[in-house]
Amino acid sequence: MIVIADTRRQAKSFAAINGSTFKMTSMAVFKAALAAGEPEPVRCAAIAESCGVRILTYPSQARRQREGDTMAASSLLRALADHGEDALRLALTAIMASRGSKCGLVDSANVRALARLFREHPMKPETVKAAFARIDLRAARAEARRDGFQSLALDMKAAVAKRLLALAKAGARAPALPAPAAEGRAA
């Protein structure tokens, strides 16, 4: 049986059939869903693009990626579903505004942690940009690991909250957040 379908229907069928039949990367499934015009991937890609993030639809070595590139398409979709558009946009804004190189920073742990942080503590984009311009996310991540937390997403949330509090105490214009909870601490 031969079925004639336009490109959008072909992409949708490809994602539906191959995504559940063959082992495919989440990036390939995302690319097919995007080509099919599925609303959530299209919305997610638009949010990412507006923040200077490029969602890769193919595997790429970290050394070949540019600042803002990510292979974490499924994590961005999950953050959008779990935390909402505003929280995802603020998370990506924070990452792209942070000090130092952004290569490899738009990953699952950072996106999940920051989206959760901003869902719980909404902020204005300009506040996020100003605060994160003073935060080195790589250093925050290393600090969180040293502190002995169990979940990298909770590690990042706690470490970033700790740094934002330090900025606020130092008189810098940073949002007020509650002290980082020990919710992810190892026993």
pLDDT in tens, 100-127: 878 888 998 889 889 998 998 888 899 8
Tokens matching residue 96 = 């792209």
Number of neighbours of residue 77 by Cβ within 10 angstroms: 21
Residue 96: predicted pLDDT: 95
The parts of the chain modelled with pLDDT lower than 70 are 1-3, 5, 11, 14-23, 147-156, 158, 168, 171-187
Give the DSSP per-residue string, the chain.
------HHHHHHHHHHHHHHHS---HHHHHHHHHHTT-HHHHHHHHHHHHTT-EE-SS---GGGPPTTEES-HHHHHHHHHHH-HHHHHHHHHHHHHSSS--TTTSSHHHHHHHHHHHHHS---HHHHHHHHTT--HHHHHHHHHHTTBS-HHHHHHHHHHHHHHHHHHTT-S----PPPP-TTB--
Residue 15: predicted pLDDT: 63
The per-residue pLDDT for range 1-28, each reduced to its tens digit, is: 555 767 777 767 766 666 556 667 888 8
Residue 120: predicted pLDDT: 87
Positive or negative, the CA dihedral 25, 85, 177, 163 is positive
Residue 155: predicted pLDDT: 65
How far apart, in Å, are the Cα atoms of 96 and each of 46, 106, 125? 15, 8, 12
Residue 185: predicted pLDDT: 39
**Residues in Cβ contact with 26 at an 8 Å cutoff, skipping those fewer than 6 apart:** 73, 74
0.75 surpassed by pTM: no
Q: Whole-number mean pLDDT of the chain? A: 80
